[in-house]
């Protein structure tokens, strides 16, 4: 098996599981509502239906932009929405449940005795499909998001050199994020020297700056980045050389490093 796909799966599955926490309040409320729907207990069903409806609307509203937006953001800041979504969804579930309680003031005694509990009308049974469809939509979006952005996580966290070379090739062929993958690769402490040397010729100064600071970057490559066009790349290279006890050269007119930048 291709080592890339092994690490792809190793990194994908934990991330997918963590993102799936977003749907737990909705799934919990939905399962309880379905249980009471099957037993025909109108009052308890109504409470949990209201809760699952509220939770589904909130979680879909929070995650829609990240999961289905035109420009899918893959930054760590954008990823925080997956941490807040279950909190807000749980709050919505409780609020919806309380609204259901208020809508069925006499439910407690009816449910306790299982007597006089009204039948669930057809339209009430149909409403359960709304949170079901939203749950399926959100789960599809989370799975899709995880697959589309996993190459960035592979570039950042993978340890096998062959995996890192493979993901860089994918980015070079535009089969992966051609900016994000090199950016994360340049920061990966496991990146092999040949990958970093290639990234030092990137057209993106942010990538070259991270290459200058990577502990695996050959000092000859770091030294060449002293002549980079971007001031902060030159500073990063000189700082790294200073840390290594190597005197850095100063140029009033930087030569901008390599004549051609390809990655």
> What's the pLDDT score for residue 152?
92
Contact status, residue 25 vs residue 86, Cβ threshold 8 Å: yes
* Torsional class of 245: left (φ above 0), alpha (ψ -120 to 50), beta (otherwise): left
Q: Is 70 exceeded by the pLDDT of residue 251?
A: no
Q: What is the DSSP string of 105-155?
A: TTHHHHHHHT-SPPPPPHHHHHTTHHHHHHHHHHHHHHHHHHHHHHHHHHH
Residue pLDDT, tens place only, 72-110: 445 555 678 888 999 999 999 999 999 998 887 754 554
How far is it, in rounded angstroms, from Cα 197 to Cα 158?
Answer: 18
249 CB neighbour count, 10 Å cutoff: 9
Closest CA to 16 of 148, 171, 204, 166: 148
Contact status, residue 131 vs residue 26, Cβ threshold 8 Å: yes
Residue pLDDT, tens place only, 183-230: 999 999 999 999 999 999 999 999 999 999 999 999 999 999 998 989
How far is it, in rounded angstroms, from Cα 181 to Cα 152?
Answer: 5
How far is it, in rounded angstroms, from Cα 233 to Cα 116?
Answer: 76
Q: What is the pTM of this model?
A: 0.76
> What's the pLDDT score for residue 243?
84
Task: Give the chain's mean pLDDT.
Answer: 86
């Amino acid at each position: 098996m291709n080592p890339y796909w092994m690490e792809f799966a190793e990194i994908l599955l934990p991330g997918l599981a963590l993102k799936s926490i977003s749907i737990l309040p909705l799934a919990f409320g939905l399962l309880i509502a379905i249980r009471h729907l099957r037993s025909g207990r109108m009052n308890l069903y109504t409470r949990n239906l209201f809760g699952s409806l509220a939770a589904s609307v909130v979680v879909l509203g929070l995650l829609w932009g990240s999961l289905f937006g035109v420009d899918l953001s893959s930054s760590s800041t954008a990823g925080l929405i997956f941490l807040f979504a279950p909190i807000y969804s749980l709050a919505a579930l409780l609020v919806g449940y309380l609204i259901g309680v208020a809508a069925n003031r006499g439910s407690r005694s009816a449910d306790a005795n299982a007597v006089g509990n009204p039948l669930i009308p057809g339209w009430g049974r149909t409403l359960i499909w709304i949170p079901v469809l939203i749950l399926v939509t959100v789960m599809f979006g989370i799975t899709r998001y995880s697959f589309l952005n996993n190459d960035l996580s592979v570039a950042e966290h993978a340890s096998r050199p062959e995996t890192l070379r493979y993901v860089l090739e994918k980015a070079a062929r535009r089969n992966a994020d051609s900016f994000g993958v090199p950016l994360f690769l340049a920061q990966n402490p496991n990146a092999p020297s040949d990958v970093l040397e290639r990234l030092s010729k990137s057209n993106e100064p942010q990538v070259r700056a991270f290459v200058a600071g990577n502990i695996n970057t050959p000092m000859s490559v770091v030294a060449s980045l002293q002549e980079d066009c971007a001031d902060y790349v030159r500073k990063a290279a000189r700082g790294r050389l200073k840390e290594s006890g190597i005197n850095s050269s100063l140029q009033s007119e930087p030569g901008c490093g390599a004549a051609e930048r390809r990655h």
